[in-house]
Amino acid sequence: MIASTFTGRVWKFGDDINTDLVIPNFAVLMTLEEQLRHCFSANRPGWVDEVQPGDVIIAGRNFGVGSARNIGAVFHGLGISGVVADSFNGLGLRNCINSGLPSLPCPGVLDVFDEGEVADVDWTTGDVKNAATGATAHGTPIPQALQDIVTAGGVENVLRREGYLAPR
């Protein structure tokens, strides 16, 4: 079960963060464990060495634009506790939800944080707060049916539980 809130250190990204930055072409056929090493290597070399489990990604418009590459699985694998973005690309959002990654569309969220500050987020109500400054923003939570997928830990967990996939 994924909790309805998360708290973590903020990494800030701009608009149009695309799938090919998260999973570069040369990493497409690699295993997920290998792919984790290359996340954001083109735009933020060394980031994967600094990011810590529990950290939060705050981003601008059209987050996750691009291909079907499963960005949700990568962020999940890196231990990111959630993504709050001004807006999401449709497919990017699908992959985050289906991987069980709490995701919240929240216009203006970039103004609330400086990098490294701590975010308090309830992705089910849309409340976003800067723990240090007290500044807030309010997002539009994803619909309940989709929240349920995230809460269950993503679709593969659901399928495994229902006997469609072999146990791990």
Partner 1 sequence: MNAIEKILAGHSEQKEVRPGDVVMVNVDVTVQFDHGRPDVLRIANPDKLVLLHDHVVPAPTVQAANNAKRMREFVERFGIENYFPVGKHGISHVLVAAEGYALPGQILVNADSHTCSSGAMNCLARGMGPSEMLYILCKGQTWYLLGPTTKVVLEGELPERVYPRDVIHYIPGQYGDFAGRNLEWHGEGLANIDVDGRLTMATISAELSAEFSLFPYDDVLARYLEGRAKWPFEPAHPDDDAEYEQVITVDLASLEPQVVLPGKVAWNSKGAREISSEGIKIDQAFIGSCANGRVSDFAIAAEILAGRQIAPGTRMIVTPGSQDILKEAIKLGYVETLMDAGAVVTNSTCGACFGGHMGLLADDEVCITASTRNFQGRMGSPKASVFMGSPATVAASAVAGVITDPRDL
Q: Is 48 in the site for partner 1 (CB under 8 A)?
A: no
> What's the rounded Cα separation, in Å, for the pair 123 and 117?
18
CB of 114 to partner 1, least distance (A): 26
CA angle at residue 23 from 18 to 29, to 5 degrees? 140
Nearer to partner 1, 73 or 121 (CB): 73
- Residue from the set 35, 81, 89, 103 that interacts with partner 1 by CB under 8 A: 89
List, as one string, the DSSP characters of 113-142. --TTPEEEEETTTTEEEETTT--EEE--PP
Q: Is 1 in the site for partner 1 (CB under 8 A)?
A: no
**Taking contact as CB under 8 A, which single stretch among the options 5-13, 68-76, 108-116, 123-131 is the one that binds partner 1?**
68-76
Neighbour-count burial for 53-74, b at 16+ CB within 10 Å, e otherwise: eebbbbbbbbbbbbbebbbbbb
Nearer to partner 1, 7 or 157 (CB): 157
Continuous segment of H or E residues that includes residue 159: helix 155-161
Return residues touching partner 1 (CB under 8 A): 16, 18-21, 24-26, 28-30, 42-43, 61-62, 65-68, 70, 72-73, 87-91, 93-95, 98-99, 142-143, 145-146, 154-156, 158-159, 163-166
